[in-house]
Amino acid sequence: MRRLVPSCFALVLIAATQSPWAPGTYTYVTTLGRDTIAFEQGVARGDSVIGTVLRLDPQLSRIDYRVARRADGSIAAAELTYRARAVDGWGPMRHVRLHTEGDSAVLAAEGQPERRLLAPTPALSVLGSGALIALALDAARRGSIDSLNVAFVAPFGGPGGRLIARRRGDEFEYRLSGGFARVTFDRVGGVASIDGSATTLKERIAKARPASLEAIEARWLRAGAGGTLSSRDTLTARVAAATITVDYGRPAVRGRDVFAHGVLGDTLWRTGANAATQFTTSHPLVFGGTVLPAGSYSLFTRVSPTATELIVSGRTGIWGTQYRAADDVLRVPMEVVSGAFTERFTISVEATDTGGLLRLRWERREFRVPFTLAP
């Protein structure tokens, strides 16, 4: 079933804030390496916060939100409207509404049964929104709280996590997608910056000058906004008697340091993006002295400062994070060399004088794994 709201949406349940956020207009810009991927604009009026996030990931989406607050700063209700740009125009609007009843919050998402969440006051969180993060962290920022447990509830999928911690002064961090995002505030209580470089998302949010969202939207559409963030590709190569096919996702660097902590924050990599990389051979192959029988497999790689190896798993048709060591068929070291810059991850299989060579290229690194054909 197609999800109605993308993974950039989550609900954060926190304790009631002590006072409303300072009124005024705000503008934020989100960057991923060299790319600008989101703009946010809105206004806080003391009892409400109303804003819009225009996000390019690279599918263009527009998220409008409205948060109503009580006099003590706690949230009485929130509403979100999401719309994505398809190849043939804008898709249908999807709505999510929240309101509080006693010690619980009621979530009404279009196309989903109504859900009651056993938690106090809800706050809305959308990737690319500095204003909503400011609201979510308001209780910890204004009080003497050094840490605050947070439950991220994602009705349609999204980043999970918990724990907000004060680092020092007016600087906080919260767990997000495999790491911690660091948040700093300005003098009026708004977020000055959010540094997510230590997470797998790698995004940064900062205050910006006001801009026309309509002009930004038009510019992104002229540039061909849409498509898939990590395209899928299939290659077929002939090496002597073997026909080898590789089906894999092709993430782009997009200005990130993708190997700073393994690959995007983890040492075990799915050797691509999204669904696990599928490797099929019609003839038995030999990797590092181990015979790989003819058949289909999933490829994983372990990338660390001390060792880099190819892992061939006998489990297929899986998502790229569903790795189990018990399914390993073989492991073989990979040679790592520096090469020309490659923006989008590329796999190739080439015939050599002694057999074949599997090459994985991304950023300025190339991983090489030689193999031969079994008798």
* Structure tokens belonging to residue 272: 């691509």
Question: Contact at 8 Å (CB) between 344 and 256?
Answer: no
Other beta carbons within 10 angstroms of residue 47's beta carbon come to 14
Residue-level pLDDT at 6: 41
Whether 164 and 247 share a structural domain = no
Whether 27 and 131 share a structural domain = yes
Whether residue 215 lies inside any domain: the answer is yes
* Structure tokens belonging to residue 145: 């709280």
Whether 210 and 247 share a structural domain = no
Whether residue 310 lies inside any domain: the answer is yes
Displacement of CA 231 from its chain's centroid (Å): 15
Calculate what percentage of the chain has a pLDDT beyond 70.
80
Which of these three, 190, 220, 250, is where a domain ends?
A: 220
Q: Which residue has the higher pLDDT, 137 or 67?
A: 67
β-bridge mates for residue 265, sequence order? none
Whether 188 and 111 share a structural domain = yes
Whether 211 and 117 share a structural domain = yes
Question: Contact at 8 Å (CB) between 253 and 263?
Answer: no
Q: Which residue has the higher pLDDT, 164 or 268?
A: 268
Residue-level pLDDT at 3: 36
Least confident of 135-149, 152-166, 295-309, 338-352: 152-166
Q: Quick one: average pLDDT of 21-39? A: 84
Whether residue 101 lies inside any domain: the answer is yes
Q: How many CA atoms lie within 13 A of 171 on its CB side?
A: 8
pLDDT over 80 (residue 18):
no
Listed ranges 77-86, 188-197, 279-288; the one with the highest mean pLDDT: 279-288
Whether 207 and 241 share a structural domain = no
The domain tally of the chain equals 2
pLDDT over 90 (residue 101):
no
Whether 351 and 215 share a structural domain = no
Whether residue 135 lies inside any domain: the answer is yes
Residue-level pLDDT at 45: 84
pLDDT over 80 (residue 170):
no
For 321-360, what is each residue's pLDDT tens digit? 889 999 999 999 999 999 899 999 999 999 999 999 999 9
Residue-level pLDDT at 14: 44
Q: What is the mean pLDDT of the chain?
A: 81
* Residue in 275, 265, 276, 317 with CA at minimum distance from that of residue 300: 276
Whether 213 and 268 share a structural domain = no
Q: Quick one: average pLDDT of 222-230? A: 62
Residue-level pLDDT at 126: 80
Which of these three, 197, 220, 243, is where a domain ends?
A: 220
pLDDT over 90 (residue 32):
no
Which of these three, 173, 190, 220, is where a domain ends?
A: 220
Whether residue 225 lies inside any domain: the answer is no
102 exposure class (CB count in 10 Å sphere: 0-12, 13-18, 19+): exposed
* Residue in 30, 51, 26 with CA at minimum distance from that of residue 39: 30
pLDDT over 50 (residue 8):
no
pLDDT over 50 (residue 158):
no
Whether 216 and 275 share a structural domain = no
Whether residue 4 lies inside any domain: the answer is no
Query: 277-280: long-range contacts at Cβ-Cβ below 8 A with a sequence spacing of 24 or more?
Result: 277/246, 277/247, 277/248, 277/249, 277/320, 277/347, 278/245, 278/246, 278/247, 278/248, 278/316, 279/244, 279/245, 279/246, 279/312, 280/244, 280/245, 280/246
Whether 125 and 240 share a structural domain = no
Whether 197 and 248 share a structural domain = no
Q: Name the residue range of residue 173's domain.
A: 9-220
Q: Which residue has the higher pLDDT, 88 or 180?
A: 180
Whether 192 and 252 share a structural domain = no
